[in-house]
């Protein structure tokens, strides 16, 4: 039987994470807390100061914390606080919780090796915070393939960036972000090998339009099962499970590595 | 042959002639007939000419001296293009189609332009996508996108040539590429240059359309991709340009061109180059609406040949030769700078590890 947990989120978090819609789509698992204080789960907008807010929420008794689209911040103290209180902290980044990412993970593991070249592109609206766009892309690469260790910008300006990266595995990557209001918010990631390929195409996190994970080779192409779930909903479902099952999240540790990589970028 | 059709002479009978031009000409029998085919290999020349009932030769001059040949198509290896185009002009032919690139140096290009002007023989370069009806339709409808675009993306994911050549025709010769070591700076530099001048050059004229300041070019990164391909990031004027190509045997070919502005964008999806699969499909997005152009029945090759016929009959205005020179200048700049970037980067890296 599913245990229903109460949720609270400040207006900014509700807006950025489409929280009301998520709760409406998980009525057996989640419901709005009658008061801000004492909610089981707390949604926090990832704007400046979010790590301190999260520490405060844990101190106030939250059983699980959701960070929505965070800016780069030091999270060492938050990692310590979450571990001490055994509170899972999940990061609702733009792409990584899309169900197609998990669906394609096995295929990417098969394609991925030290000599792979990983290509990823993100389309974001005009005016987007480039650092945030990049952090979300790094979270996607981490979830689908593996963590990025170094980044070198070939180009970074007001219309986006093109970066060359190396992964912990030794694989290299080309990461692009393009800002435009004429291209739907979306992301893609692929590994092309001489005989085979794995490709992901993802819609924005607020839509249940399915992402697509496709594996192809000399025998043809396979579209992996399509799931009509938004990335936001999948993130909250995961947090709910972690709290109910007593699980832990390594999202903050990965985020800290990604932030370090962006700060060391040349 | 009939008197009402134009006689075509083809220099070089390799896969491009076999899989592209002969199938296209077969669709245009009311306009053209193949009069003579030349190849240095007599067996190939005879075999390919025999398919279309044409005469054959191993001698360029013999083909150019043939009065039945009114249009010359240059499909020989790149290094012969310039001299053969010039010879065809001097021979007084009605028009010349040269496969890309039409020269390998700026000097050659200027010589060709001068001879074309002097002899009044019109020349076109086989940049088939510039003739593609999908591209043409987009061009007629993209409004001010050339002025507003900030990002250009040009990607080719190419299946092995045999995958589509063999469905366009039955190819009897195919070049064999020995394995190469991309960690060798000179080899890598040559691989980049070869890929730019051999593959990326197809749509560099399209890229240049969206780069008005095309001589202000800076290579921001350039690399040979594993297992086979290239990735070049460029600043061209104030435009962000990425040119990418990969060879893969997986079943997902891709040939796309994108021009992206803040509030409008163009995406063109082309079919693989050898197949007779109709035109590209162009999508113009503005706000939340998308206009789609194509697919049209004819592809760029057919449109290119129909234009060539109109040129030969004096029914169309010749292309401005400076456009062809500018296209070549741009391609050579990209190829030279990108290959030099790779050479320097690898030499520096290996020096650091020595």
Q: What is the pLDDT of residues A151-189, one digit of tens each?
A: 999 999 999 999 999 999 999 999 999 999 999 999 999
Residue B227's pLDDT is 74
**What CATH number is attached to the domain comprising A167?**
3.30.360.10
Confidence of residue B350 (pLDDT cuts 50, 70, 90): confident
Q: How confident is the model at residue B2 (pLDDT cuts 50, 70, 90)?
A: very low
Write out the two tokens for B305: 């040949």
What's the CA gap between B51 and B28, in Å, rounded? 16
Residues A44 and A76 in one domain: yes
The predicted pLDDT at position A183 comes to: 95
Structure tokens at B332: 């050579």
Same domain, yes or no: A109 and A158 = yes
- In chain B, the residue whose alpha carbon lies closest to the alpha carbon of A124 is B262
B180 touching A (Cβ < 8 Å):
no
In this predicted model, what pLDDT tens digit does every residue of B248-299 receive, in sequence order? 777 778 999 999 999 999 999 998 777 778 999 999 999 889 999 999 999 9
Asked if B221 lies within 8 A of A197 by C-beta distance, the reply is no
The residues, any chain, with a CB within 8 Å of residue A174's CB and separated by 6 or more, are A117, A118, A119, A120, A162, A163, A164, A165, B231, B244
Q: What is the pLDDT of residue B1?
A: 45
CA angle B129, B130, B134 (to 5 degrees): 65
The arithmetic mean of pLDDT across residues B156-161, rounded, is 79
Compute the radius of gyration of chain A from its Cα atoms. Answer: 18
Please state which of the ranges A45-49, A140-144, B95-99, B250-254 shows the lowest mean pLDDT: B250-254
A136-150, A193-207, B297-311: which range is least confident on average?
A193-207
Mutate to test the interface with A, among B247, B250, B290 (most CBs of A within 10 A): B250
Q: Which of B14, B27, B11, B16 is nearest to B302 (CA)?
A: B27
**B109: helix, strand or coil:** helix
Chain A residues close to B260, C-beta within 8 Å: 178, 180, 182-183
| Helix runs in chain B, H state only | 15-16, 22-26, 42-51, 60-65, 81-90, 106-119, 133-141, 145-148, 161-168, 185-198, 204-209, 300-312, 321-353
**What is the CATH number that goes with domain B6-125?**
3.40.50.720
B225: nearest CB among A117, A157, A183: A117
CATH architecture assigned to B130-299+331-353: 2-Layer Sandwich (3.30)
Lookup: tokens for B207: 């890229």
pLDDT, mean over chain B: 91
Confidence band of B175 (pLDDT split at 50, 70, 90): low
B168 pLDDT tier (thresholds 50, 70, 90): low
| Predicted local distance difference test score (pLDDT) of residue A64 | 98
Shared domain check, A117 and A63: no
Residues A145 and A174 placed together within one structural domain of the fold: yes
Q: Are residues A118 and A194 in the same domain?
A: yes
Residue B116 to residue B101: CA distance in whole angstroms: 16
- How would residue B171 be classed by pLDDT, with cut points 50, 70 and 90? low
User: Which DSSP category does B273 fall into?
Assistant: T
Min CA distance, A228 vs chain B (Å)?
Answer: 22
Question: What pLDDT digit, counting tens, does each position of B27-57 carry?
Answer: 999 999 999 999 999 999 999 999 999 999 9
> Mind giving me the DSSP string for B117-137?
HHHT--EEE--GGGT-HHHHH
Same domain, A61 and A122: no
Same domain for A124 and A82? no
Peptide bond into B101 cis (omega under 30): yes
For chain A, give the percent of residues with pLDDT over 90: 85
Average pLDDT, integer, range B10-37: 95
Question: What is the percent of chain B where pLDDT is above 90?
Answer: 76
pLDDT score of B139: 98
Element (H, E) at B152: strand B151-158
Which pLDDT band, with edges at 50, 70 and 90, does B162 fall under?
A: low
| Per-chain mean pLDDT for chain A | 95
Looking at the structure, tell me whether residues A179 and A248 fall in a common domain.
no
- Whether A162 and A246 map to the same domain: the answer is no
CA distances from A35 to A7, A64, B251 (A): 9, 16, 55
Decide if pLDDT at B178 tops 90. no
**Residue B4: which residues within 8 A CB-CB, separation 6 or more?**
none
Please report the DSSP string for chain A in residue order.
-PPPEEEEE-HHHHHHHTHHHHHHH-TTTEEE-SSSTT-SEEEEE-STTHHHHHHHHHHTT-SEEEEESPPP---HHHHHHHHHHT--EEEE-TTTTSHHHHHHHHHHHHH--TT-EEEEEEEE-TT--HHHHHHHHHHHHHHHT--EEEEEEEEEETTEEEEEEEETTS-EEEEEEEE-SSS-SEEEEEEE-SS-EEEEEEE-TT--SPPEEEEEETTEEEEPPP----HHHHHHHHHHHHHHHT----HHHHHHHHHHHHHT--
The whole-model pTM stands at 0.93
Query: Which residue's entry shows tokens 């039955």?
Result: B170
CA distances for A113 relative to A116, A172, A173, A254, angstroms: 5, 10, 12, 20
A143 shares a domain with A89: no
Residue-range definition of the domain harbouring residue A225: 99-229
Contacts of B250 in chain A (CB under 8 A): 192-193, 195-197, 216-218, 221
Whether residue B108 is predicted with pLDDT greater than 80 in this model: the reply is yes
The 10s digit of each residue's pLDDT in A72-112 is 999 999 999 999 999 999 999 999 999 999 999 999 988 89
Q: What is the CATH number of the domain that holds A44?
A: 3.40.50
Judged against a pLDDT cut of 90, whether residue A200 lies above it is answered with: yes
Is residue A210 pLDDT above 90, yes or no? Answer: yes
> What is the structure's pLDDT at B101?
86
Could you report the predicted ipTM of this complex, rounded to two decimals? 0.93
- Which of A172, A176, A182 has the CB atom closest to B242's CB atom? A176
Examine the domain organization and report whether A137 and A168 are in the same domain: yes
The total number of structural domains in chain A stands at 2
For residue B349, pLDDT beyond 50: yes
Q: Are residues A200 and A239 in the same domain?
A: no
Contact B319, B328 (CB under 8 A): no
Inter-chain residue contact B226 with A216, CB threshold 8 Å: no
Q: Both tokens of residue A42?
A: 């707390």
Would you say residue B345 has pLDDT above 80?
Answer: yes
Query: Tokens 């592209």, residue?
Result: B20
Q: Do B233 and A154 touch (CB under 8 A)?
A: yes
- What are the tens digits of pLDDT across the range B201-258? 999 999 999 999 999 999 999 999 977 899 999 999 999 999 999 987 777 789 999 9
pLDDT range class, residue B313, cuts 50, 70, 90 = very high
The C-alpha angle B268, B258, A69, rounded to 5 degrees, equals 125
């Amino acid at each position: 039987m599913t245990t229903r947990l109460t949720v609270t989120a400040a207006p900014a978090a509700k807006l950025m994470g489409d929280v009301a819609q998520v709760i409406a789509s998980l009525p057996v698992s989640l419901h709005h807390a009658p008061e801000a204080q004492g909610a089981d789960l707390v949604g926090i907008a990832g704007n400046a100061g979010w790590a301190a807010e999260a520490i405060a929420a844990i101190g106030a008794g939250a059983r699980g914390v959701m960070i929505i689209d965070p800016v780069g911040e030091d999270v060492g103290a938050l990692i310590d606080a979450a571990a001490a209180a055994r509170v899972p902290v999940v990061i609702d980044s733009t792409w990584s919780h899309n169900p197609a990412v998990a669906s394609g993970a096995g295929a990417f593991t098969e394609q991925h090796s030290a000599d792979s070249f990983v290509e990823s592109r993100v389309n974001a609206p005009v005016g987007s915070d480039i650092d945030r766009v990049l952090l979300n892309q790094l979270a996607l690469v981490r979830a689908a393939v593996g963590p990025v260790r170094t980044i070198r910008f070939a180009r970074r300006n007001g219309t986006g960036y093109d970066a060359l990266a190396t992964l912990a595995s030794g694989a290299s990557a080309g990461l692009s972000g393009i800002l435009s209001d004429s291209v739907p918010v979306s992301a893609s990631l692929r590994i092309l090998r001489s005989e085979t390929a794995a490709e992901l195409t993802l819609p924005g996190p607020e839509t249940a339009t399915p992402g697509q994970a496709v594996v192809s080779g000399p025998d043809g192409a396979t579209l992996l099962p399509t799931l009509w779930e938004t990335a936001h909903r999948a993130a909250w479902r995961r947090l709910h499970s972690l709290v109910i099952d007593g699980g832990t999240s390594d999202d903050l540790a990965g985020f800290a590595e990604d932030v370090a990589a962006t700060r060391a970028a040349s | 042959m009939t008197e009402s059709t134009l006689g075509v002479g083809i220099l070089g009978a390799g896969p491009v002639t076999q899989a592209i031009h002969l199938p296209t000409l077969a669709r245009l029998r009311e306009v053209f007939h193949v009069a003579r085919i030349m190849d240095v290999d007599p067996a190939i020349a005879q075999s390919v000419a025999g398919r279309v009932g044409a005469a054959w030769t191993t001698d360029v001059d013999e083909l150019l001296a043939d009065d039945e040949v009114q249009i010359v198509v240059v499909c020989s290896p790149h290094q012969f293009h310039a001299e053969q185009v010039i010879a065809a002009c001097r021979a007084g032919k009605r028009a010349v189609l040269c496969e890309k690139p039409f020269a390998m140096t700026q000097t050659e290009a200027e010589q060709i332009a001068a001879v074309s002007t002097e002899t009044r023989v019109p020349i076109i370069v086989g940049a088939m996508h510039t003739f593609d009806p999908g591209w043409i339709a987009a061009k007629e409808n993209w409004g001010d996108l050339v002025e507003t675009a900030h990002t250009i993306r040009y990607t080719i994911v190419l299946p092995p040539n045999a995958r589509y050549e063999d469905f366009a025709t039955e190819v009897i010769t195919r070049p064999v590429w020995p394995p190469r070591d991309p960690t060798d700076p000179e080899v890598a530099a040559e691989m980049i240059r070869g890929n730019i001048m051999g593959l990326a050059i197809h749509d560099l004229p399209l890229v240049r359309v969206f780069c008005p300041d095309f001589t202000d070019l800076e290579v921001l990164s350039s690399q040979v991709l594993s297992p086979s391909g290239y990735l070049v990031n460029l600043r061209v004027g104030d435009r962000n340009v990425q040119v990418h190509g990969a060879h893969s045997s997986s079943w997902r070919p891709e040939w796309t061109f994108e021009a992206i502005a803040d509030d409008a964008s163009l995406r063109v999806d082309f079919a693989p180059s050898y197949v007779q699969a109709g035109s590209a499909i162009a999508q113009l997005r503005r706000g939340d609406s998308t206009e789609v152009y194509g697919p049209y029945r004819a592809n760029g090759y057919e449109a290119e040949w129909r234009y060539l016929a109109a040129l030969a009959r004096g029914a169309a205005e010749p292309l401005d030769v400076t456009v062809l020179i500018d296209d070549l200048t741009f391609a050579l700049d990209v190829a030279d700078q990108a290959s030099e970037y790779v050479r320097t980067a690898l030499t520096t890296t290996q020096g650091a590890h020595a």
